[in-house]
């Protein structure tokens, strides 16, 4: 009889957690594994397209402050989710559980570890997040998106295996050779702020482009993914500068637009960095400044150290500073091409396969007794 016990993926919150989980799911399904997803209620309602035979929702919570009430709310949410997760593990009897970070993964991973089910955590960022730090000491295996993982103990570092960050099939399909802008031809820029949006992009980028030389400005073709509440700001800025711009809150074909760009201006979430590298495009990265662990700064610096990006911290992001940087980059096609090649060399295009190898290596064998 075919073993129908699944590998259970735990992911929630943002695309940065769901995208690598989706890529791993596809790879494991190709290898004949059954997949189920456990997440929180917010994501479960929108996970219809996730490649899993079942989607489960368990209670969770996130840090809402350090007050006694906030801490009690966090503990209560995680505790209730833990009880739900124990029942889920006993019902589903997964061969392994794989967590992708964020507090929604804490209850199912903790339940798996308590019951002796192999547990793998995947850390997408260059700095391990707080939820994964809670789980790492007892995890069976730790997979990392970046070769270097900052702010972990020697014991945790010894358990870490660099597999890269799995990217969606649409990203791999969009990869194509980079062609720098030729003299006088249009220059295509892509601007986006990640899953949390970035008002600063809608304010600073149009102003920076407006300050460029008129001849260079006339060549620009901008695609800008802006939050709905920031769209008018971006529209006004580009119109005042007489720059052709396609602005929308969301582009479903963002990987193709990334591939069409000569330069990308973006945040530095782990998925963004992985997708830039997989497609091979140069970038100006503006890390999210107020994250608890400065994970985006670590991500951006890793790609920049490899030669694939330029980092501009938000505190230094002004129209004048960004305009000066863009003037140098956009008039140096050979430098853009070199950065694109370095970005592509930084990629781990088989990250999903590497992670699948690790997961299947620790999972209970198909047909084995639970």
| pLDDT number for residue 78 | 78
Inter-CA distances, 16 with 33, 51, 115, 249, Å: 23, 17, 28, 18
| pLDDT number for residue 16 | 73
Name which of 133-142, 248-257, 329-338, 359-368 the model is least confident about: 359-368
Average pLDDT taken over every residue of the chain: 91
**For the residues 294-302, what does the mean pLDDT come to?**
95
Which tokens sit at 188? 């295509």
Name which of 32-46, 123-137, 141-155, 179-193 the model is least confident about: 32-46
Q: Is the pLDDT of residue 28 over 70?
A: yes
| pLDDT number for residue 48 | 73
Question: What confidence category does residue 196 fall into, taking pLDDT thresholds of 50, 70 and 90?
Answer: low
| pLDDT number for residue 104 | 85
DSSP-assigned letter for residue 96: E
The Cα–Cα gap between 162 and 10 comes to 20
More confident residue, 98 or 152: 98
Tell me the per-residue pLDDT of 227-246, one tens digit each, with 9 for 90 and over: 999 999 999 999 999 999 99
**For the residues 112-133, what does the mean pLDDT come to?**
95
Tell me the per-residue pLDDT of 34-57, one tens digit each, with 9 for 90 and over: 999 999 877 766 677 899 999 999
Percent of the chain with pLDDT over 70: 92
Q: Is the pLDDT of residue 1 over 50?
A: no
Q: Is the pLDDT of residue 370 over 70?
A: no
Name which of 70-79, 102-111, 208-217 the model is least confident about: 70-79
Which tokens sit at 360? 């299947």
Q: Is the pLDDT of residue 63 over 80?
A: no
Dihedral sign of CA atoms 139, 141, 147, 152 in order: positive
| pLDDT number for residue 60 | 74
Relative to beta strand 96-99, strand 7-10 is: parallel
């Amino acid at each position: 009889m075919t073993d129908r016990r699944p590998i259970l993926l735990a992911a929630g919150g943002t695309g940065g957690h769901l995208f690598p989980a989706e890529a791993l799911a596809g790879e494991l399904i190709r290898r004949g594994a059954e997949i189920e997803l456990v997440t929180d209620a917010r994501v479960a309602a929108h996970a219809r397209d996730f490649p899993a035979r079942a989607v489960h929702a368990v209670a969770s919570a996130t840090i809402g402050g350090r007050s006694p009430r906030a801490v009690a709310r966090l503990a209560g949410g995680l505790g209730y989710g833990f009880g739900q997760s124990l029942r889920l593990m006993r019902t589903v009897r997964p061969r392994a559980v794989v967590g992708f970070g964020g507090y929604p993964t804490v209850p199912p991973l903790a339940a798996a570890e308590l019951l002796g089910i192999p547990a793998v955590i995947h850390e997408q960022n260059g700095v391990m997040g707080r939820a994964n730090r809670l789980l790492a000491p007892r995890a069976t295996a730790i997979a990392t998106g970046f070769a270097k993982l900052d702010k972990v103990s020697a014991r945790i570092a010894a358990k870490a295996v660099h597999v890269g960050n799995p990217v969606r099939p649409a990203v791999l399909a969009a990869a194509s050779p980079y062609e720098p802008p030729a003299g006088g031809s249009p220059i295509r820029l892509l601007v986006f702020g990640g899953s949390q949006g970035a008002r600063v992009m809608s304010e600073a980028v149009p102003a920076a482009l407006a300050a460029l030389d008129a001849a260079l400005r006339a060549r620009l073709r901008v695609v800008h993914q802006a939050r709905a509440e920031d769209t008018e700001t971006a529209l006004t800025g580009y119109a005042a500068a007489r720059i052709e711009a396609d602005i929308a809150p969301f582009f479903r074909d963002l990987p193709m637009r990334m591939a069409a760009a000569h330069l990308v201006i973006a945040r530095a979430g782990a998925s963004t960095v992985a997708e830039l590298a997989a497609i091979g495009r140069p970038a100006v990265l503006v890390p999210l400044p107020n994250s608890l662990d400065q994970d985006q700064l670590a991500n951006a610096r890793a790609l920049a150290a490899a030669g694939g990006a330029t980092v501009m911290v938000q505190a230094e992001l002004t129209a004048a500073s960004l305009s000066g940087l863009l003037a140098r980059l956009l008039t140096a096609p050979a430098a853009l091409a070199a950065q694109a090649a370095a970005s592509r060399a930084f990629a781990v295009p088989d990250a999903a396969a590497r992670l699948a190898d690790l997961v299947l290596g620790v999972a209970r064998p198909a047909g084995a007794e639970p």
